[in-house]
Amino acid sequence: MMSTAATTRDRQLPARSYRIYGLNLRSDIALDGAEPLVAPAGAEADCELHTGPFTSPEALEQIAEVDGDDVVTVSRIASGTPGYLLEYSDGNRFLIEENGARIYAHWPDSSTAEDMVTYLVGPVLAFVLRLRGTFSLHASAVVVDDGALALVGESGAGKSSTAAAFADSGAAVLTDDIVAFSWRGEEAWVESGYPRLRLWPNIVEARYGNPDALPRLTRNWEKRYLDLASVQRFAAEALPVRAILILGPRVDGSPKVERIGTREAALALIANSSMSRHLSAELRRQELVHVASLLTKVPVFRAQASCEVTLLPQFCAAIRAALRTI
């Protein structure tokens, strides 16, 4: 346990172990919605989650303050056991060991455990993956022709809504928000993620006629979620990467899909890598190696959906047609 973390209760971790993004995560609380992610019996933990109040280290070096859907300040522990402190504007806090082996999480009275888990299965575990040398993208992934299609783009680009459209057509969703890559021999694979697809209320309304047709992620978040396991649209096992799709600005009229060159693809992947602002020089070097390796094996396309949400099925058909040209 980190010497910088002082907890208020003895932490004897019960048998709550999950397999997510290729990690065996052992937790001292049950993670809401994670039932399909139970790790194999006896699996050794790659990472442990401890919840409850902890004392922040006194010596901190701020790395970055990131604006987005939420504001997070990331600081490096400047003395004592190496690690990082992530502090969100709503009071959720995470202390992470340098090697990502342990995470300490605490949420204020104004927040909930569900809020904490929302951060955990998004940016927090993305950061842990990067500390462990795993390359990941801010992306979603769906199953197409027995392989993984990664949908990459900035916030609001339409990753989750496109994944939802594929799910409507019968495809399984492999992961949302975080795409973690692994290598099996010379082949790149995408690890299975969390069995919930996060959607903004306007997308829910366009799909179901009512923004409240799906439950909120938590009482404090406007985003809704589709429980992929309950509709049998969740792929719980890793799959080889078939292609990567870079989502560009939406267009009027018909959607567009075209293959792009290596240089453009490399810039797009680097721009959309997860938690990249917080990486050390060595981890940034590793990132370039990962990107170069991916581009020798995986085709990359640029795609632009129509501004008309009702044309998303047509967009999925155009993507499938483009993949048949590989």
Q: Do the domain assignments include residue 126?
A: yes
Q: Do the domain assignments include residue 11?
A: no
Say whether both 240 and 300 belong to one domain: yes
Say whether both 250 and 316 belong to one domain: yes
| 244-259 pLDDT per residue, tens | 999 998 888 888 899 9
In 208-269 the beta strands, taken as DSSP E runs, fall at: 224-227, 239-247, 256-259
Q: Do the domain assignments include residue 12?
A: no
Give the tokens for residue 98.
Answer: 């340098």
Q: Which residues pair with 143 in a beta bridge?
A: 148
Say whether both 154 and 109 belong to one domain: no
Query: Cα-flanking dihedrals φ and ψ of residue 264, to 5°?
Result: -65, -40
Residue ending a domain, among 131, 148, 166, is: 131
Say whether both 227 and 108 belong to one domain: no
Distances (CA, A) of 258 to 71, 145, 239, 261: 35, 19, 23, 10
Q: How confident is the model at residue 62 (pLDDT cuts 50, 70, 90)?
A: low
| 68-121 pLDDT per residue, tens | 455 888 888 877 778 899 999 999 999 999 889 999 999 999 999 999 999 999
| 120-145 pLDDT per residue, tens | 999 999 999 999 989 999 999 999 99
Say whether both 249 and 105 belong to one domain: no
Q: Do the domain assignments include residue 4?
A: no
Query: Cα-flanking dihedrals φ and ψ of residue 205, to 5°?
Result: -65, -40
Say whether both 184 and 298 belong to one domain: yes
Say whether both 235 and 316 belong to one domain: yes
Say whether both 48 and 169 belong to one domain: no
Please tell me the distance from the alpha carbon of residue 321 to that of residue 49, in angstroms, as a whole number: 43
Q: Which residues pair with 87 in a beta bridge?
A: 73, 93
Say whether both 156 and 112 belong to one domain: no
Say whether both 103 and 141 belong to one domain: no
Say whether both 172 and 124 belong to one domain: no
pTM of structure: 0.89
To which H or E segment does residue 20 belong? Answer: strand 17-20
Q: Please, what is the Cα angle at 203 between 201 and 207, to 5 degrees?
A: 115
The predicted structure's pLDDT at residue 223: 94
Residue ending a domain, among 80, 102, 131, is: 131
Say whether both 156 and 204 belong to one domain: yes
Please tell me the distance from the alpha carbon of residue 73 to that of residue 46, in angstroms, as a whole number: 25
To which H or E segment does residue 287 belong? Answer: helix 281-297
Q: What is the mean pLDDT of the chain?
A: 88
Number of structural domains the chain divides into: 2
Domain range for 280 is 136-323
Residue labelled with tokens 């933990």: 45
Q: Do the domain assignments include residue 50?
A: yes
Q: Please, what is the Cα angle at 278 between 275 and 281, to 5 degrees?
A: 120
Q: Do the domain assignments include residue 100?
A: yes
Domain CATH number, residue 195: 3.40.50
